[in-house]
Amino acid sequence: MLLQNMTSVITGGARGIGLATARAFLAQGSNIVLADMDTAALDRAAETLGQGVVKVVCDVTSAEDMSALVNTAVDHFGSLDVMVNNAGFARDATMRKMSEFDFDAVVSVHLKGAWLGTRAAADIMRRVGTAGSIINVSSISGKVGMPGQTNYSAAKAGIVGLTKAAAKELGFTGIRVNAIQPGIIRTDMVEALRADILEKKLAEIPLARFGEPEEVASVVLFLASGMSSYMTGTVLEITGGRHA
């Protein structure tokens, strides 16, 4: 039980990678605070997960909401040991056609949301003396840049910089900050892509298949647990070899 008696907060936890991570953490003994903006999806996720889960409707771009979220972990379970900043979405368009609103919205949820989550979690961990683990979800798009994703790629690249800077600031406290960069993972966002686009992306993957949310969750679990106790400021790619 890698996370026995620990408490983990997961944003964007109602589906996809967030939900798979919650399942993996629960199986390893963690209490879960599950956060999402989609109330109906959050209700369904919490019901499927069962006991040991507290659900919170949360806007990750709100400092007040994020502070309330991490405090919920302490109020319900007595600690905050792991923070997974996973919330996000895509609004793809070429730069010429992308609206300023869609650029701001994507950067705000992904990058500002991860910053607020990292800051709020670190504050709680330092206050209660927890040598916790913070995991920020970037993307391979943040490494290589994808056409039609100037907003998404910029935000995901920013998460890498945030992670490395925060790891340096917090290292003396024992708090570790790491990031992951998933590639093409079978989530709702990927399934919505056209078949010809998916075929083209599949041809770029040495392992010749798309990843599953559970495979990403296993890496997040590794970073959350003591198995990665001497790792901070790192970025792990989960891509099947794509853009290696």
Which residues carry out catalysis? 152
Question: What is the C-alpha to C-alpha distance for residues 74 and 209, in angstroms, rounded to an integer?
Answer: 40
Question: What is the C-alpha to C-alpha distance for residues 200 and 242, in angstroms, rounded to an integer?
Answer: 12
Tokens describing residue 126: 């330092």
Farthest-apart Cα atoms in the chain, separation: 51
- Backbone torsion region of residue 209, taken as left when φ is above 0, otherwise alpha when ψ lies between -120 and 50, otherwise beta: beta
What angle do helix axes 150-170 and 100-107 make, rounded to 10 degrees? Answer: 30
Q: H or E segment at 44?
A: helix 39-49
